[in-house]
Amino acid sequence: MTTTTTHARATPVAATAESPRPAAGRIADEERFRASYARHRTAIWRFLGRRLGDDDLAEDLTSEVFVVAWRRRHDAPADELPWLYGVARRVLSNDRRAARVEAERQRALAHQLTVEPSSRPSPLDAPSTSDAVATALAALSERDREVLLLAAWEELTPRELATALGCRPNTARVRLHRARKHFIALLDDHHPTLTEGPHA
């Protein structure tokens, strides 16, 4: 008699086939991976959900992120979360459903992203302001938009940004600085009062 075992929302450890490894080593890997999954699963789900606005699709892709993370577990640094964001970025870009949904999501970003929220007020409740922010954000290159969102939504430091983006910390700082300048310039075209004051 054949029995079938199903795993509902389980840690995706057993989802891949690979070469054998000594039992003790594999058990240690699994324990570390399960701990990582417990710590970071919600952050990865939020990362995907913010960009997709679709909880079910975010759930599917979260599982895929951790399947990839399990396969590449020996590449993971001690500070895993920024690295997992990098894995999630690649999963997101490679999924056609996600690409379509993410494109439709762009206009919803207006209420969640500001340029320098701590240095000046931004009356984002005004429809014209929201439109200007959404238009400026959508006009950015994908490269600039993603570094801004990682900094604004995930609140990553330049060093963490570097891990997520796969570059050096100095490069991450430069990319973030340039993305902010591009965003401010685009925003100024549509709503000059939002960009009054000094810019770093």
Chain segment 147-159, per-residue pLDDT in tens: 998 998 899 999 9
DSSP string, 64-129: HHHHHHHHTGGG--SSHHHHHHHHHHHHHHH-HHHHHHHHHHGGGGGGT--SSTTTS---TTSHHH
Please indicate whether residue 87 or residue 115 has the higher confidence score (pLDDT).
87
Q: Sign of the CA dihedral 169, 175, 179, 182?
A: positive
Stretch 27-51: mean pLDDT? 92
Q: Tens of pLDDT along 93-140?
A: 888 776 666 666 655 554 455 444 444 444 444 445 667 777 788 888
Closest alpha carbon to 65 in 46, 49, 82, 41 = 41
Stretch 76-98: mean pLDDT? 89
Q: How far apart are CA 60 and CA 4, in angstroms?
A: 22
Enclosing H/E stretch for 46: helix 23-52
Amino acid 111: pLDDT: 47
- Its pTM stands at 0.67
